[in-house]
Amino acid sequence: MHKINTGTIDFMQQASTISVIITTYNRPDALTAVVEACFAQDDRNFEIIIADDGSTNNTRERVAALKARAPVPLTHVWQPDEGFRAARVRNLGTLAARGDYIVFLDGDCIPPRHFVAQHRKLAEPGYLVSGSRVLLSQDYTARLLAEHLDLPRLGLWGRLRLRLAGHSNKFLQTAITWPDLGRRRKRFSWRRIKSCNLAVWRRDLDLVNGFDESFLGWGHEDSDLVVRLFNAGVLRKDGACATEVFHLWHKENQRDQESSNRAVVLQRAADRTTQATVGLRDMA
């Protein structure tokens, strides 16, 4: 039986300072669109950590320009390009974060203006929040980045037109915001586990030693984190119809290691594993 790990914290306490950790790799135009949308948030009590998995100087220069006019604290952490190391760079971002609640966001996922506020509302001790996303078409993504379109300002009619034109795969989820009711899951499931939009208490990340850097290549390092958190007593809340982000189109990553990574996650679910083999504590 799982117990909610609330410690001495009041059950209804919300996060104080939120750290939004944005992962990126050599896509400065998309990163700029994401960070600009973060600058426009209704809730300004947060910081931005850009977790850079080895981008070149083009990204470094873009981040410096963004930092110069940032309305919230912005930090850039970088690691050498040694292949796909998303788990490690998210841990690197976590170590640089000052917030007690971490929201992981990818550098190609544009948040709406209420994104931070909605994550704050859903934050609850003993739970993580698995967010949702709206997929954008290749054509619309190219136009958005070339013309610097302000997607978060797009009204309901504009979002409906995107859906009808086939430029997005969802509409209702962006038009309706459900309250924090019926979101708690007592059983673990694989569905909609995406670290491109995932919120976790910092103390819970410390509890399981963060993301596991021993995962090689693309795939399931996020599922592994959620499995280990569940094994440690941290349950899931569904962030759909509250925390949607707009996912810019990109080519699929190579998935050579996906099957082996999935096998590791399945074994850890069966073994009730909680600790990352190589994680946060190994970076200190």
* pLDDT tens for each residue of 181-196: 778 876 777 566 778 9
Strand, coil or helix: 194? coil
The conformation of residue 180, written as its DSSP 8-state character, comes to: S
pLDDT at 13 over 60: no
Check if the beta carbon of residue 127 is closer than 8 Å to that of residue 6. Answer: no
Mean pLDDT of 60-88: 96
* Res 215: pLDDT: 86
pTM of the model: 0.91
pLDDT at 278 over 70: yes
Token pair belonging to 38: 């973060």
User: Which one has a higher pLDDT value, 252 or 114?
Assistant: 114
List of domains in the chain? 18-282 (3.90.550.10)
Which class for 124: exposed (0-12), middle (13-18), buried (19 or more C-beta within 10 A)? Answer: buried
* Res 9: pLDDT: 39
Place of tokens 């917030």: 99
Check if the beta carbon of residue 125 is closer than 8 Å to that of residue 6. Answer: yes
pLDDT-based confidence at residue 11 (cuts at 50, 70, 90): very low
The conformation of residue 254, written as its DSSP 8-state character, comes to: P
Q: pLDDT tens across 145-157, in order?
A: 999 999 999 999 9
